[in-house]
Structure 1
Amino acid sequence: MVHPCPRSHTRESRAVTGSVLCAPCISQAERDLRALPVLHQECLHHVSPGRRRTNPTRVSGSRSRDQLNISVLDARYNLLATLESWSEIVVENLAVAAPARSVPQLARFLARHLHWLAAQPPAADFAGEMEGLVAELRGTIDPDPGGLHQLVRRCVVDHCGGTISAPPPNSAEPGDHRIGCSAGHSWELREWLTLRQLMERQRKDAGV
């Protein structure tokens, strides 16, 4: 039985036989999965001035960054967590070996099982999330000049009322980039993944 693709289209698009999605949506998801590892790596050059490439290619609309960009770290964390979540669904349902916990490996794993994913009930969610991840990463690489690039979050230390943010411009020596709390707590950049997981747990606990 032929049915329409559940994703938003300017005109009705028929799903591929045996799939929930139409051919253009499947192709777009495949392109997104190929692009994600490249964008993930490119984001590293936008975390802080000290991590820029030598002779970087200028991106139209980009601007100089003079402080740690927490939104980049957040986007990279979100990418890894989302790819890992979808990969776990594939592993559990197809009884296949799990890929290594890295963006390139996870993206390749999902691409190999894309047609199976496209046939599952949440296929539209999968395609939408892959497209959203690409947009989020591209937004951190070449941000809207009027956008907010520095996220501010509650400190994860118990009973601390401070907020976590990047250090203000020129507040430290070049290359000395740390994630700081307004009450005085601080973490090294390499601790971001652990810190981000604590933030996510804090957010979920607050919603209970």
Structure 2
Amino acid sequence: MCQPCRRALRECLRELPGLYEECARSLAEHSTAYLSPRVSGSRRIGIALNDAAMTVRDNILGVLATWAAMVVDERGLHARPARTASELSRFLVTHLDWLSAHAAAADLAKEITELVRAARHVLEELPPAPRRLGNCVEPGCSGVITIALGYAQGQRRRPVECAAGHTWQMHEWVQLSRRLGG
């Protein structure tokens, strides 16, 4: 595996735990299915879930665990990483030199890249989930400041704005945080 491909794989492995967590947050925020079936003539009850986000999360964990198990088995290691996206990803990054020289390196790179692409796609399909930050800090404004977390065209979007139209760029967030009292 060439150096640019190894760097790209490392970046994808490091990004996966964050994507995994963002998909987790989207599960209830953007529901598409219910855990409990709908009985004719009744209303749905149960926990609303986002099927696509659940599937991507399952795939992330399964693929990372499979590759980590291969590393453990083939290298004769005694300790297995915890079955969490962050621990599995960290484990694979730690063994990336060995993995990049493995005969299955191209398969690993393809699977990890596809996972990142799938997770980004799921998150792009969801409307940004606004989070309330506080009341607007501009004099005379009664708007509420929110941040909309999400993805657009593979890039994380984080517009911070108040309902009245005031906006803050990323380089202004620290100062805004201070003005909000945080």
24, 27, 30: which one aligns with 2:10: 30
User: Match for residue 108 of structure 1?
Assistant: 90
The 1:50/1:122 distance shift into structure 2, 3 A limit, reads closer
Partner AA of 1:22 in structure 2? C
Q: Where in structure 2 are the equivalents of 1:1-208 lying within 5 Å? A: 21-49=1-29, 68-96=49-77, 97-143=79-125
Question: Cα deviations across residues 22-66 of structure 1 (Å, max 9, x unaligned)?
Answer: 111100000001100011111122112289xxxxxxxxxxxxxxx
Partner AA of 1:70 in structure 2? D
CA distance in 2, matches of 1:50, 1:26: 35
CA distance in 1, matches of 2:29, 2:64: 28
CA distance in 1, matches of 2:5, 2:29: 37
How far is 1:85 from its partner? 0.4
CA distance in 1, matches of 2:102, 2:30: 44
Partner AA of 2:104 in structure 1? P
Q: Which secondary structure state, in structure 2, belongs to the residue aligned with residue 42 of structure 1?
A: helix
The structure carrying a bigger strand percent of its residues is 2
Question: Cα deviations across residues 82-139 of structure 1 (Å, max 9, x unaligned)?
Answer: 0000001100111121101111000000000001001011100001111111111111
How far is 1:144 from its partner? 8.2
Where do 4+ consecutive residues of structure 1 move more than 2 Å? Answer: 48-51
Partner AA of 2:5 in structure 1? C
Partner AA of 1:38 in structure 2? G
Partner AA of 1:95 in structure 2? G
Partner AA of 1:113 in structure 2? H
CA distance in 2, matches of 1:107, 1:68: 25
Partner AA of 1:123 in structure 2? A
CA distance in 2, matches of 1:107, 1:93: 18
Aligned length: 110
User: Match for residue 205 of structure 1?
Assistant: none
Higher relative contact order (CA 8 A, sep 6+): 1
Question: Cα deviations across residues 168-196 of structure 1 (Å, max 9, x unaligned)?
Answer: xxxxxxxxxxxxxxxxxxxxxxxxxxxxx
Q: Which secondary structure state, in structure 2, belongs to the residue aligned with residue 34 of structure 1?
A: helix
- Between structure 1 and structure 2, the one with the greater Rg is 2
Q: Which secondary structure state, in structure 2, belongs to the residue aligned with residue 48 of structure 1?
A: helix
Q: Which secondary structure state, in structure 1, belongs to the residue aligned with residue 102 of structure 2?
A: coil
Give the conservation status (yes or no) of the 8 Å contact 2:68–2:88. Answer: yes
CA distance in 2, matches of 1:69, 1:30: 28
